[in-house]
Amino acid sequence: MSGNRELLEATLAGAASEDRAALIAYLPGGFPTVDGGIAAVNAAVAGGADVIEVGLPHSDPVLDGPVIQTADDIALRGGVKIADIMRTVREAHEATGAPILVMTYWNPIDRYGVERFTAELADAGGAGCILPDLPVQESGLWREHAEKHGLATVFVVAPSSKDARLATITAAGSGFVYASSLMGVTGTRESVGEQAQDLVRRTRATTDLPVCVGIGVSTAEHARQVAGFADGVIVGSAFVKRMLDAPDEAAGLAAVRALAGELAEGVRKR
């Protein structure tokens, strides 16, 4: 079975045709439970998210700040496995029709087996993977299997990336480019810096892929600002924090849907 890279590409193109940025929501798989994580994805799409990133919880999440680390710890203590992430992708995609990627560090895939992981993700209806710690020069095996199974390979670029490095990264990627708005880990912040706009400009000079900005985006106003210069707005910690702060799961799901609605309105006001 082929994955849903084409659905991802069509969704991003559809947002552009409406003269707006796409809203991409990140939610950890298995948090607060596997069923609760699936419900959270469904709530985000119901609220207005165009694309979903399902995080594969990892014991050493070097890119993630304290909010997502807390959620990952809850999921790992709950016994979440890669099979649960595949189930999350399958059931959420079937329920929503949205393109769903997995965001994961390389070690779990390497241990699981690249062919096995890509085949199962495609069979589940996944659109691809975001791989923040996989160096492009070491990504050949992954890209070979992702291409075979119709999956996007999304790499992360940072403000520190030189122009030549950006060109190398974007030439190897597909689906979209994940532009980190600043140097640092995920988390909510007061503002999204000017570094992000410059990074988007420099990245676009190397590729026709959509450039989507994440890290530090947490409010409708942030979404509006980023949508003014990026093709997509990526929000993660703000969703997770709403769930962590909620008194129960039902309230958490309502908060996720409400935030998605606020952000979806923001990306339409660029």
By annotation, the residues acting in catalysis are 53, 64
* Residue type for position 206: T
Using N-to-C axis directions, what is the helix angle for 82-96 and 34-47, rounded to 10°? 30
Which tokens in the block code for residue 262? 């606020």
Give which of 251, 188, 252 is closest to 220, Cα–Cα.
Answer: 188
Which tokens in the block code for residue 31? 């948090």
Q: What angle do CA 267, 25, 257 make, to 5 degrees?
A: 80
Q: What angle do CA 259, 158, 105 make, to 5 degrees?
A: 75
Q: In what order do the strands lie in the sheet with 177-180?
A: 152-154, 128-130, 100-103, 51-55, 22-28, 232-235, 211-214, 177-180, 156-157
Run of H or E residues at 234: strand 232-235
In the 8-state DSSP scheme, what is residue 216? Answer: B
Give which of 128, 159, 117 is closest to 8, Cα–Cα.
Answer: 128
Give which of 6, 8, 4, 24 is closest to 230, Cα–Cα.
Answer: 24
Residues in the chain: 270
